[in-house]
Amino acid sequence: MTWAKWWPHDPPVKTDSLDPYLVKVEKNKVYWYCADGSCKTQPWCTGKHGEFGTKPIMYIPHSSGYRLFAGCRESMHLPHYDFTDLWVRANKSIPKAALFTYVACFSFGIMTTWLFHP
């Protein structure tokens, strides 16, 4: 999922946390989402852009409430959170991801065998 490994034209994203941000937003208020992760007031932009010059993403909520915003900056639907951080984490630690996937599939197989045996 990390495009910067094989696509050098997009600036690499630097962020302190891959975790999503849970933020309370107000209806019809304009928010500016920091697209490069360099601002201190995450997930919102302070107007100072990082060394790559990426522009912030405008977000206007249709209703008030709590929203999850992507912390990894790799989401296809920025600024919305769509579990892309799980792919980024797996890409950073492939052996751990492979072990977790193996254990999950093995456990699921044991559980379904036990549930559906005659």
pLDDT at 11: 66
**Tally of helices (H runs) and strands (E runs) in the chain:** 2, 4
What is the model's pTM? 0.74
pLDDT tens per residue, range 21-73: 999 999 999 999 988 877 888 899 888 776 666 788 999 999 999 999 998 88
In whole angstroms, give the CA distance from residue 61 to residue 88.
27
Residue 5 · residue 50 · CB < 8 Å: no
Number of domains in the chain: 1
Write out the residue range of the structural domain in which residue 99 sits: 3-116
pLDDT digits (tens, 9 = 90+) for 69-113: 998 888 888 899 999 888 888 888 999 999 999 999 999 999 999
Residue 35's pLDDT is what?
A: 84
Residue 2's pLDDT is: 60
